[in-house]
Structure 1
Amino acid sequence: MTNKSYNLAIIFLVSTTLDLCYGHGYMSSPRSRQLVAFEDGSWAGGDNLPEKENCPSCANIKNADGFCGKVQTRDYDFPKDGNGNPYGPVPQAIWTEGQYVEMEFVYTANHQGHHVTYGCPDFDNPTKECFEQYPLEFVEDLTVQTYGTTYNAPKDELHPERAYVDPAAPVTRMRFKLPEGLYGDP
């Protein structure tokens, strides 16, 4: 299969597999939609700027059919610009299908457990079926080497998609393998 590059304007979803767990945090590298809105957004509005976010770790609720989370009126499934118009893709990285990639996560309230990361190449019409088709495989935890914590999460061979979280870590760095067939237009 030919490798194709794609950008992270396609949607990456980080979620827990437990319906009753409400984590507080965000993907910091590559930057999640809510972190982009926090860092680049403007309260004054603007066509080329995302709607301003004041709490990037608060997108821990979602619409019943949603994926990316919601903070008050800011729905990250369908982000808006500072003027209330649809805000298009803003690539945060360019990767190749099947590539090993590193991601960083910030936990403002670490409830332990694990997260699962999915991709969906359809920016305009993400569906649960699309996300479920492209789970990323957890390869290894790089948190001890990166941040000097005391624990790297093991790989769960029974659930290769799960990335377990160090209960004491406010930040983690993890390596994943992108699934074959997941790509978008660069």
Structure 2
Amino acid sequence: MDSEINFILESTEEAMNGAIQHLEKQFSNIRAGKASPSMLGSVMVDYYGSKTPLNQVANISTPDARTLAIQPFEKSLIQEIEKAIMMANLGFNPMNNGESVIINVPPLTEERRRDLVKQAKAEAEDAKIGVRNDRKNANNDLKKLEASEDIQKSTETDIQKLTDRFITTIDELLVQKEKEIMTV
């Protein structure tokens, strides 16, 4: 019985950790003013008929805080890369100099910053929903064990403590991201 309860607690913690990792990945895609290669993480380039992530057909670098430089492995891809960046609807205007694609990252307006904070809050709420669903699944698994009432109550308390800990972590991550977005 103890090993089954430990398994439920461990698998629940692992699932909740997955929600945190997903949130961190989503937050990295929300730009906070500085140029970062991860901003182009969602860009898919048409490479000989198949959609390929941009970072697999080009080197992406940041020569300074406001510029992204994309050096394609094949010069023939420059137009495809420009088109893919425009199609990704990231609000960037790519330019090419015949050798590479350059993107000047405009500073964020106050309105855009507020939109990004809303987006971050929505991602955080999704993560909280995921954590709460993990709690529900753990409690359902616990009920299936048919353990004594005392063991069920104490394990439900442990599951709730785990949930509270992860919800607090999500709130802390959100506060950090908001601060990062709103810093001019």
TM over 0.5: no
TM superposition score normalised by structure 2: 0.32
Structure with greater strand share of residues:
1
Which of 1 and 2 has greater Rg?
Answer: 2
TM superposition score normalised by structure 1: 0.32
